[in-house]
Amino acid sequence: MSPKQGTPKKNLMLFSGRAHYELAEEVAKHLNVTITPQTAHTFANGELFVRFEESVRGTDAFVIQAHTTPINEYVMEQLIMVDALKRASAKRITVVMPFYPYARQDKKHKGREPISARLIADLFKTAGADRIMTVDLHTAQIQGFFDGPVDHLMAQSVLADHIKATYGNADITVVSPDSGRVRLAEKWAQQLGDRPIAFIHKTRDPDKPNQAVANRVVGKVEGKLCVLIDDMIDTGGTIVKATEALLEEGAADVVIATTHGILSDPATERLSQCKAREVIVTNSLPIPDEKRFPGLTVLSIAPMLAEAIQQVFEDGSVTSLFDGNA
């Protein structure tokens, strides 16, 4: 008996959690698709329910969720969405998490501590995820926690393009808020036109989260426009102290550029009162009106996410989007 011939076809379907629907809609617009309709609600006791309103059998599914406050609820919602897709026979499930939850817990500082970033990867693998797409991980080693492909996208180009367009003629020095991000500062310096770099030497007590002491500036910043870079701003304490240290060292001005604007209280108050000329973040996390302030610029990563999703769907190269550095 001869085998029956079929006509394989690929369908891209986009799904969104409830945390940051605006970003998902923007991504959908760039992809020229619509977000798959779904029923999602929370029961009185806090349990979550998700059901998709269309067949997903054989589809290439991309599930977008922003892990903002309440972070545990939105992690669970995305896990449930992945489980629903797996049980509905989706062919491939890609979890799109612009901000990787628990990324700061990527190693043990002391005994009897968890490595929660690894736990997150294990949870999504168990739920049925085939692939993870994320933006600017806290540490690159997290890519190895997931047993499958991880597309590590970089928002540096989005942020750097804004810096070049706005401050391209200024005498810029790229500043890392600590010694651990000097390598990233070097990449920034190269992208901004071979600029000099500096870093803040600081200490941090592992028993006191969200607290850091800026000790001294290493590098020449006097009279310079300092572009202070980081992957996230949570309460804003570290970045504000670094800004103060730079200005005390004679910096002409400070521009803060970061990917993830978590902006937990009292970040908005701290940043609005600090003397930085501009604070630039992306929309990897939702930033409601009450957290916005004069001097805050929010750039969209939706075009970058959409292009990466298109490359994954077409079995193309995500690395090529970042000049081979992704």
The pLDDT tens digits for 108-161 are 989 999 999 999 999 999 999 999 999 999 999 999 999 999 999 999 999 999
Measured distance CA(140)–CA(11) in Å, rounded: 31
Identify the CA nearest to 138 among candidates 120, 112, 117: 117
Q: What are phi and psi of 281, to 5 degrees?
A: -135, 170
**Strand 48-52 relative to strand 38-42, pairing:** antiparallel
Residue with tokens 């003629």: 169
Measured distance CA(177)–CA(156) in Å, rounded: 16
Measured distance CA(25)–CA(23) in Å, rounded: 5
Predicted pLDDT of residue 323: 72
For the question of residue 224 being annotated catalytic, the response is no
Predicted pLDDT of residue 25: 98
Predicted pLDDT of residue 279: 98
Q: Are 65 and 74 in contact (CB under 8 A)?
A: yes
Amino acid residing at 178: D
Measured distance CA(277)–CA(11) in Å, rounded: 46
pTM of the model: 0.92
pLDDT digits (tens, 9 = 90+) for 157-195: 999 999 999 998 999 999 999 888 899 999 999 999 999
Question: Which residues of the chain carry a pLDDT beneath 50?
Answer: none
Residue with tokens 């085939």: 130
Q: Which of 164, 187, 202, 241 is catalytic?
A: 202
Predicted pLDDT of residue 111: 94
Q: 53: which residues sit within 8 A by CB, 6+ positions away?
A: 36, 37, 38, 39
Predicted pLDDT of residue 209: 67
DSSP H stretches of helix in 13-69: 21-31
Amino acid residing at 294: P
CA distances from 129 to 51, 87, 109, 124, 168 (A): 17, 12, 29, 6, 42
